[in-house]
Amino acid sequence: MDNRNKIIIMSLILLSVLTLSLIFFSLDLSQQLAQKSQQINFLNEKLIEQQQALDNQQKPSLVTALGVSVEPRNDTLYPHPHFTFEGYVYNVGNSTAYNARLEITAFFKKGGFSALNLTMPLGDIGRYQLVQVSKIVATPDWIGNYTIIPLCEDKP
């Protein structure tokens, strides 16, 4: 073999080693990039969770302390069936609760048919503000199950 052939063979071997090195280096960089991308996605998810938690802390949040009665309180004044609720609605959130209201649904004891479906407006309730609530609703029969849900908007 002459020197020219030896140089060509050595050049090909060197070129092959260099090509393989570049392939392995490229695969390693690709794997590192995939790991970094996965870390970025994880951190973005955490950031979204933290932003949602912060947003929830800035919103109004209504808490109720209500007493409910379906029995007559005074046989002389209210001898017929009725639904009474009274107490307080408190905004424990960090902003005003706009268009605050109580959504009330009640069902008759016998048969479970709908007895009430009403909304009691409370207006706007400021941050850490308390609103007193008191309402007596006469009904044609005794109330069984009921729900009272406080609702509001976080923007006017």
Of 130, 146, 148, nearest to 89 (Cα)?
130
Of 141, 134, 152, nearest to 68 (Cα)?
134
Answer whether 146's CB lies under 8 Å from 102's CB: no
Rounded to two decimals, the pTM is 0.64
- Where exactly are the structural domains of the chain? 1-58, 62-153
Each residue's pLDDT tens digit, 20-29? 999 989 999 9
CA distance 91 to 93: 6
Residue 154 CA to chain centroid, in angstroms? 13
In single-letter form, the type of residue at position 90 comes to Y
Please give the span between the terminal C-alpha atoms of the chain, in angstroms, as a whole number: 91
In single-letter form, the type of residue at position 54 comes to L
CATH label, 62-153, candidates 3.40.710.10, 3.30.499.10, 3.40.1280.10, 2.60.40.10: 2.60.40.10
Each residue's pLDDT tens digit, 30-78? 999 999 999 999 999 999 999 888 877 778 999 999 999 887 655 666 6
CA distance 26 to 39: 20
